[in-house]
Amino acid sequence: MTDDPNNQAQLDYPGDKAFAEFLERYECPLALDTVKFRLWGNVVSVAARVRPTEEFEDIWKRTLPEFEDGDEAGTFFAVMFSLWNALAELNLDGRRLPLSQRRGLDSADGLAAMIERRLDEIDRGFTSGFIGDMTFYDKMSERTDDCLSKLNDLTDKLEELGEEIENDATRYPEVRKRFLALDRTAQRLVDNLVKAANAERKFQGRDGGPT
């Protein structure tokens, strides 16, 4: 459960298409999938203090859009909370948030773009939201720490592949093969961290439910 004090009007999540248009309208610097995984990481975080509104500000690089009035601001936060709460319900139901499907792997440029997309989802999205301000590192359980370390190892290897294909496109066949081998483990590693964090929060008496 979050200790966020905001009491925003409750809205149902409008769906990915409408939410992507909402992000574009407010010039969000992150793509839809990155935002979803950023909040997914924050929802399941084992940090002692999780405030969704602070994560919303981080998504906009600590500078929220300018609003014409309080009504627009209220609607903005209500829409953001609709995604947060949808993800919290997803977690309480024991369901996963799926990574995007692999696509564009038939060329070196497409492979480079796919690697960046995966890094956006996992590293700049999920892991960034999960670690928050990093105040809980010395209190994390051994299981959660191990799962996070394995996910970090994956992103390090993805970054290496991204640099390799950018520097030498002739390496495309080999890099593609290694990317596929790594990416087949990505969803499992994310899910393992979610399960470990959920077990740790349950032990602490926190459920990570909606606001």
**Quick check: 125 and 33 in contact, CB under 8 A?**
yes
Spatial distance between the Cα atoms of 100 and 22, rounded to a whole number of angstroms = 20
Query: Which structure tokens are listed for 56?
Result: 């919303």
Q: Which domains does the chain have, with CATH numbers?
A: 16-204 (1.20.120)
Spatial distance between the Cα atoms of 99 and 117, rounded to a whole number of angstroms = 10
For 42-82, how does the pLDDT look when each residue is reduced to its tens digit (9 = 90+)?
999 988 677 899 999 999 999 999 999 999 999 999 999 99
Instruction: Give the per-residue pLDDT at 35.
Output: 98
Query: Would the pLDDT of 108 be above 70?
Result: yes
Q: What percent of the chain has pLDDT over 70?
A: 88
- Which residues lie below 8 Å from residue 25, measured CB to CB, with a gap of 6+? none
Where do runs of H (alpha helix) occur along the chain?
Answer: 16-25, 32-44, 52-59, 70-92, 108-121, 128-131, 142-167, 172-204
Lowest mean pLDDT across 2-6, 102-106, 144-148: 2-6
* Mean per-residue pLDDT of the chain: 90
- Per-residue confidence band for 201, with pLDDT thresholds at 50, 70 and 90: confident
Which residue do the tokens 């995984």 mark?
37
SS3 11: coil
Does pTM top 0.85 for this prediction? Answer: yes
Spatial distance between the Cα atoms of 60 and 209, rounded to a whole number of angstroms = 24
Spatial distance between the Cα atoms of 34 and 99, rounded to a whole number of angstroms = 10
